[in-house]
Structure 1
Amino acid sequence: MIDVACDGDLWTICINRPDKANSLTKEMLVTLADTFEAAKDARALILTGEGKVFSAGADLEEARAGLAVDTVWERLSSAVAAVQGLTVAALNGTLAGGAMGMALACDLRIAVPTAKFFYPVMKLGFMPQPSDPVRMAKLIGPSRTKLILMGGQKITADEAFSFGLVDRLIAPEALMDEARAIVQDTLAAKPEIAMGIKELCRR
């Protein structure tokens, strides 16, 4: 349910459970975390999903059994953030709940125009993972972060783009081509220069 491809220095990770809106089980989250940790030295990495939804967040049955508050979410987003190369979340559809964390931890986010973004954690009676509000607020500011996390608002792709939550809106048929095009300069550059620029941007 997690597909991984490595083409030279470019890693592609795809969530492949479209019949369940790419909802994430504990096993899938562990696999994702393991994969991102293995890809720490990747020059470039693209994260995407299969079908019309990027991810609906936690699998509902497992969420009720404790997955919603499992530390694996934080392990995953930390592993995404630790990748040394350029990371791009190519959001093929709606992004919801805890799945937001790994997208927020990527360097860039591109999305199809029909995508929606929401994180109903408070409504469900849970706290978000600690790093998610911090990363979101850095991207879109504290007020808009509260609009999503506390106001429970579902944000359209156009709003997400205007907020700065996503960096480009791309037609579905061109999404992966765009993601690959974005990482080409990084792949062609000297690793120490590309990684040096990323480190400077973190300061």
Structure 2
Amino acid sequence: MIRIDQTDGIWTITLARPDKANSLTAAMLEQLCDAIDAATQAGARALILTGEGRVFSAGADLDEARAGLATSPLWEKLSGRIAQAECLSIAALNGTLAGGAFGMALACDLRLAVPEARFFYPVMKLGFLPQPSDPVRMAALIGPARARMILMAGARIDAQEALNWGLIDRISAPDQLLADARALCADAQSATAAHVAAIKRLIP
């Protein structure tokens, strides 16, 4: 349910469950952790996370969420792996980002999105707590009041507002999204893995 492409030091990991809005199962979360570990061990200089279809991810698979996935430590394990990856990480958001899938994007170094993308994290309404690191990373990007707007007031924001807030860094046309993400990897691609890691460690 995920696809991996390796090209000249860039690893592109695609959520490939478009018939279910790329909702995530426990198996997929484990596969994503393994893929990021493999990329790190292989000396990847850049990592791109994207999805197939019109939604990046609707969050947890509903059936598995009801069975306990919504509160699984796997979410935090995955976002931690992404944050610790010693390469440039980019979330290329091909559509809406919702719920627990926020953790993946927040843990990336950069975030691009298509104009049609929407952003919401309905933990208050659903009665769950967010992943522990998500409010911290979100507030660091957009400030505590706007983080409360999303996590506590249930705000649903569009791509332009997300860009204005600093939740994403750039809006890309759907047919240019991956090309734009790969273009941002060019400098890292021409460097050594150790150099990329050294520069990343200098940035808080």
TM-score normalised to the size of structure 1? 0.97
**Residue number in structure 2 paired with 1:140:** 142
Are 1:104 and 2:100 counterparts?
no
Displacement of 1:106 in angstroms is 0.4
Q: How well do the aligned residues superpose, as a CA RMSD in angstroms?
A: 0.9
Do the aligned partners of residues 192 and 27 (structure 1) sit closer, same or farther apart at CA in structure 2, a change above 3 Å counting?
closer
**Residue number in structure 1 paired with 2:32:** 32
Structure 1 segments, 4+ long, off by >6 Å, are none
Alignment partner of 1:4: what SS?
A: strand
**Residue number in structure 1 paired with 2:120:** 118
Q: Percent identity?
A: 61
Between stretches 176-185 and 192-201, larger displacement belongs to 192-201
Alignment partner of 2:123: what SS?
A: coil
Alpha-carbon distance in structure 1 between the residues aligned to 2:37 and 2:123: 26
Alignment partner of 1:42: what SS?
A: coil
Displacement of 1:194 in angstroms is 2.5
Alignment partner of 2:185: what SS?
A: helix
Displacement of 1:7 in angstroms is 1.4
Alignment partner of 1:87: what SS?
A: strand
Are 1:161 and 2:142 counterparts?
no
Alignment partner of 2:153: what SS?
A: coil
* Deviation digits for residues 122-171 of structure 1 (CA, Å, limit 9, x no counterpart): 21010001000011011111000000000001011001000000000000
Are 1:170 and 2:172 counterparts?
yes
The one-letter code matched in structure 1 to 2:177 is: L
The one-letter code matched in structure 1 to 2:197 is: M
What residue ranges of structure 2 are gaps of 5+ in the alignment?
Answer: none
**Residue number in structure 2 paired with 1:4:** 4
Between stretches 49-58 and 26-35, larger displacement belongs to 26-35
Alpha-carbon distance in structure 1 between the residues aligned to 2:26 and 2:144: 30
Alpha-carbon distance in structure 1 between the residues aligned to 2:65 and 2:196: 38
* Deviation digits for residues 68-113 of structure 1 (CA, Å, limit 9, x no counterpart): 0000000000010111110010000000000000110000000001
Aligned positions, number = 202
Are 1:187 and 2:170 counterparts?
no
Alpha-carbon distance in structure 1 between the residues aligned to 2:142 and 2:108: 15
